Structure 1
Amino acid sequence: MRKLIFLQLIISLSSCVKNDCQCKFTEEDLNYGYSKELNYKSYHTIGDAKDCAANCKKPILIMFTGWNTTGNSKLAWEILDHSEIRHTIESNFVFCTLYVDDKTELSNGSTLGDYNIQLESETFGFNTQPLYVITNVELNVLVDPIGYTKDLHKFEAFLQKGTEN
């Protein structure tokens, strides 16, 4: 009887850990861009997002945006501030915000923004912000990317398709 109870407890705990997978965020991640203002947990490098996605077995929602386009960054976050959207993202995705004009210098002499814009254009074939892309860990696109929208139903449908793949 004790063995059976112990086995049930182990199974219960392992399913909780799988469903409530927690990835680590740095202070920089939590205070980066509009993530802080809207209290979103978002990675700001694709490598960290991929590590978390592999660990949690979730798709990645990438938002390409920019600091310097007038109103662009704030508009990009507008749709994400709805409670239904937030719940869907936090429950089903690893969220990654990539600023294409980030001036953080990399060891190769380029900037993080240069890397992000190259990733957006070469990997996904776009050079527009905001752009929302849902991928797997290998950065294969799971749903056709979409740009800026105020249409809550359109964005919800986009996210829903991403959870089905």
Structure 2
Amino acid sequence: MKKINDIFIGQNFSLPNNFLISKYDTFLFFDFGLGMDLEFLEEFSDLLDLGGFNKQVNVLDCDFNIVVENWILEHDNLIKNIRKITGITNDYGNGGVIMADTDLNWVAVQDIPVNWGIFAFQSSKKESIRLFHMMDRDWFVDIERFKAMEKVLIREFGEEFINVLLSNYGNIRSKP
């Protein structure tokens, strides 16, 4: 797999770099402020409750400095931690955030809040892929939706870009 940095250089469409490792092989793309969007975090917390998933996460800036450690995603502490994340990432960097559950079933990365981000999952782990299938597709674009929009995206970003995107992220596993 090519490094994400090499894929998107010179493109108007940018995604985070320096986080993908081979065990994360199933992806959802998003364009809201990761770790800063109260509505998303509330819905995500509810989803984790519903599925019985680990709600404990670590949040880092894109230089891998811990911003919030062992945060349990609960409605009553969301605003306090959003303020902390926003304050630290804006004071010491570009606002980029990495968020992952402490079991590393998923990792989400957004290098700056105005760019697209990626939720990455491990298809080899049942909990990871189960969460992927439960995620609300109104919040995300999966690779299948990218394929459905291919003609529009080719006009906007070029065929080479779309081919690289699909070849690097197009390995979604079938539903269990």
| TM-score, shorter chain, exceeding 0.5 | no
Using the size of structure 2 for normalisation, the TM-score is 0.23
Using the size of structure 1 for normalisation, the TM-score is 0.24
More strand by share: 2
